[in-house]
Homo-oligomer: A and B are copies of this chain.
């Protein structure tokens, strides 16, 4: 069963032990060319190399593996058309249990194929939040499957926290870790790991300026919904949940935002200099550093490259 309270240090350690044999320990890479461009020392945590091509597999794995035998038999369910869908599907498949993925019928063919490739059952719905939730409730009711929320779930957050735990194991003297902020699951996990496993590393969230609902939510101390944001960062469209809002309110240093133009520049710099494929949502962390060079001058910073699932036929450069 899922964690019912904010993850403790021990919860995150247990999450890591639980998933360690089925995740990749991703590398922390650096590029002297990018350090020169940015004027600081950057370490990229390459979750684009994670299974399913995104950090989301950590949280989904920890959630699925936290289920009891009897819960597990009924499978896992979620609504998502992105990386969390694939992550939940694979985590269920690895335990030989069914996954039910609610997806708008408008989702790109490439996403459907990815999820089908992990043998999940896709339930199509209209592309509205209401239709999505109704379809999910229906499938959970019918099957008894456990709902693995993409971010507003403490077991998912504990799973995402293992990413920063690994970063700090590899490099203990960081000034900052910068995760992108969408629904806040990764950012929340990063804050908790920084608190538990470091005594100097601060966490700064990175958000597209044109999808800055988390920035405004923390500033105004209330959750603002994310209304039709226009950003290339398709993984950062969601708003915070109550659990992630609470953790970020208490632990996050601040949120910095970057323009779409800088995000695309940052993405191109990563592809060209590091020769790795990252999705736009990953590039926002480098983008905020490039827009605030004085703040980060000569600092040691880990940036989380959240994923590498990108449509090669539709690149922004």
A residues near B, CB below 8 A? 48-49, 53, 268, 271-272, 274-278, 308, 312-313, 315, 317
> Assuming A272-B312, A275-B278, what are 5 further A-B pairs, CB within 8 angstroms?
A48-B275, A49-B275, A271-B277, A275-B277, A312-B315
Number of copies: 2
* Sampled A-B contacts (13; CB under 8 Å): A49-B274, A49-B275, A268-B312, A271-B277, A271-B312, A272-B277, A275-B278, A275-B308, A276-B276, A276-B277, A312-B315, A312-B317, A313-B317
The answer to whether A275 touches B313 (Cβ under 8 A) is no
CB neighbours of A49 from chain B (8 A): 274-275
> A49–B32 Cα gap in the complex (Å)?
12
CB neighbours of A274 from chain B (8 A): 49
User: Of all chain B residues, which has the CB nearest A270?
Assistant: B277
> A278–B275 Cα gap in the complex (Å)?
7
> A268–B315 Cα gap in the complex (Å)?
14
> A278–B277 Cα gap in the complex (Å)?
10
> A48–B313 Cα gap in the complex (Å)?
22
